[in-house]
Structures are given as C-alpha cells and as structure tokens.
Structure 1
C-alpha cells in the first residue's frame, strides 16, 4: 500500500492551506487570532526539517451608517474602512533527537489586530488600534507502536509577548485625540495525543493549548492634546485564551487525501480590559470603576472553526489541495467579527526530494451585522460611544513557503 504514502502532500499543500484557513478565518471572526498555533511540522518523518512561510491577508471590511454617542452624527463621516491588511509569518525547525523522540522549535505571531478607520463618527471609540504578538515555542513528542500504527504523546511550552496601542478621539470640537500604549507577556503550555498509520496516510491528533496569564500589563496614556501629559497606566490581569483542536486526515484512494479539523478557542475570557493609573490598587481596577481612565472593550464569545478539504498528488513533483472553512464570529452585538466562510487552494512543487515549495491563495466572505451597545460585567455597557452596520465583505489571502529536510 505504499502508493498511499502521500508524504509530499501531507507536508506541503495541506499544511500551507491550513495556515491560510487559520489566517483568513481569524481576520474578523476569531477574536485576536492571526496565525494561531500550528505544530504540523512535528509530524514530518525526516530526521531534520525546517520551514519558513508567510501569508498576507487582505480583509475588505467596511463600516456603514456610523453614529456617535446616542446616535449622534458628529459630522466626521458615516462610513470607514474597518480592517487593514497584515502578514502572518512562521518559522520552524524539527529534529529527531533519538528514535521515537522528535522536538520542534518555532516562531510565530498567533495574535494581532489592526484597524484604522480614521476620523469617522465612531472616532470616540477608535481611530486606530494595532495589536502585535510574538510567540516562541518548543514542542516534543514520543511515539511508540500501538496496533497497526503509532501512538504519539505531545507536550511543549511557549512564551508570548504582546504589545499594541489604541488611538481615539477625546474631544470633538476641536478634534483632539488620546492614545494608550500597552505591553505584556506570559507563558503557556500544550499537551496532546496523536495516532498515525503511515501506510494509509492516516493521522488523528488532539491538542490542548493552555491559557497565557497576563498579569503585567503596563504602558502609558497620552493626553498631551488636552494638557494632561503622559500617565503611567496598567491593566487588570487578563488571559489569552486556551484552545482545543482536533485534526483528522486519511488517504482515501491512491494519490488522494481527505483532511479536516474542528477547533474551539476560549475567546469569552476577553470582555473589557480596564485601564487604570499606576498607584491605584488592583482591587479598584475593574471595568466601570471610577479608577478606570479607559478600557479596551472586546466583549468576545467563544470561537469555533470547522474546515475540510481534499488533496491530490499528481506525481513525485506536484501536489495540490483545496479547503473550505467556516469560522463562527466572536462578536455578538458589539464589534465586527462576524461569521466567515473561506475557500482556499494551493500547490506544492518538489524539485528535489528534500525541497518543497508552496504557493496558495484563498477567498472568503465576511458576513454582515451590526455593532452597538452590549451589556457586560458589573453593569458595564460597551458600545455607547459608537454604533455602525457592516455588510457582506470580501477577504482574500496569498501564501508562500519553503521546506527543506534531510
């Protein structure tokens, strides 16, 4: 049954498409997710393999019928661009330490967001917000024979640093702006299990990624435009979400592979992040408290992503795959992260047995909705400073990468 060994496809086209699917669906429907987590390189059968790839995502989200507090027209425009394009890079290296033990180190940018609607009727809520992340991870596995295949036990740790800023209007006439800059970091861990039968290209994996505790959020509040200068600030303890992902794949005919995944992300952890001046006790820093000078309102619900696809290996050099993905929006009355449907396709070219070159593209639909007031914790209501509508919008992406193994 060696004709069902789809090594090139498993390591190339499908993996590249999985990255695009994650990046595409996370543009507006996955909280702050961009690249997310991916440990597929750990399963490469070569003793040593390394890869580098990048995806550029282009969301075309438009805000319409924007109003300020209480439905007021501030005279700054009722429409705006709701999202900016962004890159999702990933670099990884995997080695076989001893027979049955594999380890991988990788760099990625799992979280992020960038919106720059500018001076619009919702400027009291947001003129520009930009959040970036860096993730440094180490993951190992131990595999041993069980039945017709191999059982693999997976574990690892990762360190994340997250930074960003938000600029918004603090006075309408004249138009004066303020800015919040924040940074933080934290550790997380992962554990999982996988079962593989290489002869039929079968693999089933279940991986849990832990929360990342952020108890050192700090930065500055810049209100120099209204004469208050720079104020050192901090945010209450928050968590980046934990997640569980189930992935399945199997050869279904000579040269053909079916694959799919289901992922849950605990985005409901992130509601409203209160920002308080340094000096106020942590017990007084909560959303809606007098000590909070501002807040970062997210108001997310949990995210779900479901994807499936088919891959085909044409010959020893060329393989291709297609994938359809649905991502449940994490916004539910506040924000513009609605459900997303994405269709992707890509090819992998193997000019030599140890080199794979990948190119893929995807197109999707960001579904319509409305953002307005939403009640949260402690009686706090988000969205009082702006409301707007959004229609069905287009999102596209391109991805390229290279993998070298020995």
Structure 2
C-alpha cells in the first residue's frame, strides 16, 4: 500500500462528524475532542460550531400527583385540564469549540481549547399537563482545557503518551409549578425557580499509537469526573404567599453537590486501500453517578436526598435524573477524492441512559461530512447528521425505597434529531 495521506484529507471530515452526534445520552453536548492534538503541522488553530435540533414530542401526558395541597401529602394540585399531547420538550442548541495546537520540538505537542461538553435545555412551557414536573430546565457547562503529548518511536510507528487538565464552569436553572400548602385552589400554584452555579477541575490521560504510512492511529483516553462540591444558588418561591415555617414566599440561598461524569474512549482509524480509510470509536460515560441531585438551605448541614422531615433532612428541591451508564459506538469510512476534496460517512449508536424517568432513550445517527482544502494552510469543513430518538415512556419509578417521577407521566414516539456542523482550520 502506498503512503496514505488521509490524515490530511478525509480525516478532516471524519473529525467533524464527531460533533454532529452532540445529542447523545445524559447531558452530552460536544463531549471531549482532542483530535487537533494529532495535526502534523507545527501550529494549527481551529474553530467549529454545531447546531443540533432534537424534536422530541410528548404525548398522553398526565398530572400524576393531583392531591389537594395541605390535604393530600405532597399534593401539587391538578393541571390535567392543560394540553396533554404534541408537547415539544426540547430546544435546538449551538455547540462551539475553538482550539490551538503547537509543536514543541519533534516529540512534544500541546493544545489549548474551549468547548461545551455537557448541557441540557428542556422547555415545555407552563401550558401543559406536566407543568408540575417542568416548565423549563437549562444547564450549560463551559470547559477550558490544556492537553499535551510526548511521542517516541516504537516499532514501525510512534507511541504517544497523553496528559492534561481542564476547568469547568456550570450554570443553569429549573422552573416548575409549585404548590402552596393549605391555600385555596384558585391561588395554590405559582412558579418556583432554582438557579445554580458551580465549578471544578478534571484531568485526562491516555496513549496513542500511529503508523503514518498506513494512516493508522489508535488511542485510548480517559477523562476524569469533575466534582462540583461548591454548587450553590437560590430557590425562588416568591410567587407563593408567605407561610411561617416554610420556604413559601421567600428567596432562599441553597447549595448542593454533584460530579459530572468521567469517560473512557477508544478510537481507531486505518487505511484500507489507497485514499480510503476506515474509522470507529467506542465510548463509555459514567452517567450513572447522576441520580437525584438535592439542594438544601444553606446552613442546614450535609445535603442528602429526601424530603424535609422537620429535623435532620433539609432537602428543599432536587433534580431527578436516575441515569445509567452510557455507551456510544460509531464507525464509518472516509475517502480522499483529490488534493482538495475529502469526505466521510458514519453510523452512530448511543445507548439511552434514562431508567424510567426522562426521555434519553437509544439514538441512531447517520452522518456525512466533506472537507475542502482551499490552500495548503486553510481547510473548510461541513458535516450533517440525521438521527432517530427512539420511543419510550416516563413516570413514577421507585429507587432505593423512594419514588421519583411521580409528578407527571407521559409517552413519546420515535422522533427526529438533526445536526449541522462547520469548522475552519488554519495551519502553518
């Protein structure tokens, strides 16, 4: 086989395809991407943006907890008179990424990048039968990272040792209807809002092996969890009349803690014929550590899951996810048409992480991308994807003796997700 230069051609389109799968399980957006580190140029800068448009619709929605506040324990009132089918649950979103890579001598390469690996945006609005569960939830995670590698000869190729660190800032809010205990039915409901923010550090480590002659590269990279021990914010129940001894009518400072997931990803590519490349990846993400995220009033001691019991347990509200671990498997082929144009096709399966609560079921995605080398130093890329969000249901689920998802139940069918991504790379 003659020397395969797909690393400078079709792999440009292959790299961009990863961004179009930015609606995977859990809170995944852009995930982690260090492909720029492998660019053979001495210096390279890249800017990319992806727009993802999931079209999840909810049907057969029922307000499950219709008890009268102050009479039925935990009662939220009855909003089943509101619309119950064809409810749009998801919002389209942008995923940006920018990075710069530099070679330091023959063996060391380093890159710095900004990305948004995790996030979520649900926005059913207040006019649906599940408004006691959610009106709008939005979570954004910004990631600032530095990654380096050291390479040395091993056999016919080079072995890289990879390491780095990253800092993440998290912000978000959740709004839903809240019930006022003991109030008349006509005034028992108001909107409660939880605002939160936090930050934390993580690290990555991995290895890669490359044989340039065959466009062969394999890599295994681990990204650590990010502990958000400083998660804090406010719980705003000011829309509800004040009631002594309760949080109603108040804006309370709250705190909590959670760990964003660690992830392990194996990637490979290899030339299979002149100007043809096969590639694939397998990724595990520890979404199961995101179960119920409690928020407690500041100054009440350790914050643990469970409703307030008048003494030891001070949870005021929670974000209930009940995720399981995620697996993402992708494969495809790339082809270099000529010195200017390259393309790639891919198929991705992402295992759903929802376990009775939520809408994160299995996702199947087909992607296509092209790369255009305008000059020796400038590349333009564009990719698109179309996928299926598989059907399922959400409702009351018992976990460790506690019931979650009891505020509303609903079904959803097979829905579409689409994405388009573009990038510009300058190398010199």
8 Å CA contact retained: 2:232, 2:255 = yes
Match of 1:213 in 2: 227
CA radius of gyration, larger in = 2
What stretches of structure 2 of length at least 5 have no aligned partner?
67-77, 180-184, 242-248
> Normalising by the residue count of structure 1, what TM-score does the alignment of the two structures yield?
0.96
- Tell me which of 411, 418, 425 is aligned to 1:389: 411
* Counterparts of 2:82 and 2:151, CA distance in 1: 60
Q: CA contact under 8 A between 1:334 and 1:372: conserved in structure 2?
A: yes
1:86 paired to 2:93: yes
Give me the TM-score of the superposition, normalised by structure 2.
0.91
Partner of 1:325: 348
Contact 1:179/1:221 (CA < 8 Å) preserved in 2? yes
Report if the CA contact (8 A) 2:205-2:222 is conserved: yes
Q: Take 2:238 and 2:415, find their aligned partners in 1: how far apart are those partners?
A: 37
Structure 1 residue 66 corresponds to structure 2 residue 61: yes
Residue 4 of structure 1, CA deviation: 1.4
Q: C-alpha separation between the residues in 2 aligned to 1:346 and 1:15?
A: 9
Question: Does residue 232 of the first structure (1) align with residue 253 of the second (2)?
Answer: yes
Indicate which of 310, 317, 321 corresponds to 2:333.
310
Write out aligned runs for 1:4-403 (5 A): 4-21=4-21, 23-24=22-23, 26=24, 30-70=25-65, 74-79=80-85, 80-119=87-126, 120-171=128-179, 173-174=186-187, 175-227=189-241, 228-235=249-256, 237-282=257-302, 285-290=304-309, 291-377=314-400, 379-403=401-425
- Give distance in 2, aligned partners of 1:297 and 1:278: 20
How much has 1:201 moved relative to structure 2?
Answer: 0.2
How far does residue 287 in structure 1 lie from its aligned partner after superposition?
A: 3.2
Determine helix, strand or coil for the equivalent of 2:16. helix
1:289 Cα deviation after fit: 4.6
Query: CA offsets per residue over residues 48-94 of structure 1, 9 Å max, x none?
Result: 00100000000000010011124866211112111000001000000
Q: How many residues align?
A: 398
CA contact (8 A) 1:3 1:255 kept: no
Change in 2 beyond 3 A, CA 1:10/1:43: farther
Q: Secondary structure at the match of 1:268?
A: helix
CA contact (8 A) 2:2 2:274 kept: no
Query: Match of 1:19, SS?
Result: helix
Alignment root-mean-square deviation, CA: 1.3
Give the CA deviation at 1:164.
0.3
1:73–1:65 CA distance, 2 compared to 1 (3 A): farther
**CA–CA distance in 1 between the matches of 2:20 and 2:8?**
18
8 Å CA contact 1:192–1:207 kept in 2: the answer is yes
Matches of 2:43 and 2:10 in 1, distance apart? Answer: 16
Q: CA deviation at 1:2?
A: 4.7
Q: Which has the higher helix share?
A: 1
Q: Return the offset for 1:238.
A: 1.4
Q: Which runs of 5+ in 1 are unaligned?
A: none
Q: 1:150–1:195: 8 Å Cα contact kept in structure 2?
A: yes
Quote how far apart the aligned CAs of 1:380 are. 2.0
Asked if the contact 2:97/2:113 (under 8 Å) is kept, the reply is: yes
